[in-house]
A and B are shown apart, each in its own frame.
Chain A
């Protein structure tokens, strides 16, 4: 009997190990979070028009010179409205340039949206075919990238930016990049 009981403990042990592994896979991680392939890579090349000034052509060079936030947004995206007040606050208080990518959207609606909710962006790249989105590995909106002064992507945030996101991740990373441009990796 006693050896039978002991052997019953083996599957129980395996079961517990599996539960721990699977709990790690299911419970702790957001399945929507995909690690970005583009961290520490140059921001992809593009040539697209500006939302409010369609005659102006924007390229990746327009984002160089300063550490900046690049925000992927659209009028069809409810979470973009959720994060909007925080983006307005960042552009007002934090002195970080904020560039928008208007993603898979109707430029006319997008212009109206910015008038109604105010415009935190220095300029908006019109990506109404989603081509730049694909180059960036974007699969929804909102997404926010930190691009350093040399135009290298340093961080990617998926989902709405909240005050907490700014205080715990975006703010500190930007500060680090501004004081010590080569100091962080990944």
Chain B
């Protein structure tokens, strides 16, 4: 027999082990696992145009729901990842792709951080070298004085 306390404890335990409720539970049917996988990876890499920083898999926005439905339709039609990305790009622009294509307009996105890093390295090395050269630069006169001071 379960005591009252037992029941309460179990109730709490049940409440705790609920899986986090993901926004995207559409339960779309797929004929095979390959298509399901393609769908899941696409909705994970497409960005929700309404929500600034969520993929369409994780958003409950109306537009994310509509886009998931479109991705599902296109996956079932047998379209490739690139076809589906191109479809989204043509309508929503670079914003929709978390991994933007390499083009003149996106060069800064791809190489900006690397260039900043190289600039940072150059600046740091420059500063270190200057600091080192300051330490070694003692004139003969200073050397002489140093010797005198030390011998006192």
A residues engaging B (CB < 8 A)? 3-4, 7, 10-11, 14, 31-32, 34-38, 104, 129-131, 133-140
Contacts and interface: CB of A to CB of B under 8 A. Distances in A.
A136 B49 CA distance: 13
A3 B134 contact: yes
Interface residues of B, number: 21
A82 to B, nearest CB: 18
Contact of A134 (B50, B66, B123): B66
A34 B49 contact: yes
A136 B91 contact: yes
Q: For the complex, would chain A's binding face be called helix, strand, loop or mixed by DSSP majority?
A: loop
B150 interface: no
A77 to B, nearest CB: 10
Contact of A31 (B52, B63, B67, B126): B52
A139 B91 CA distance: 10
Given A14-B123, A140-B63, A4 B131 contact: yes
Contacts of A14: 119, 123
B27 interface: no
A7 B66 contact: no
A7 B63 contact: no
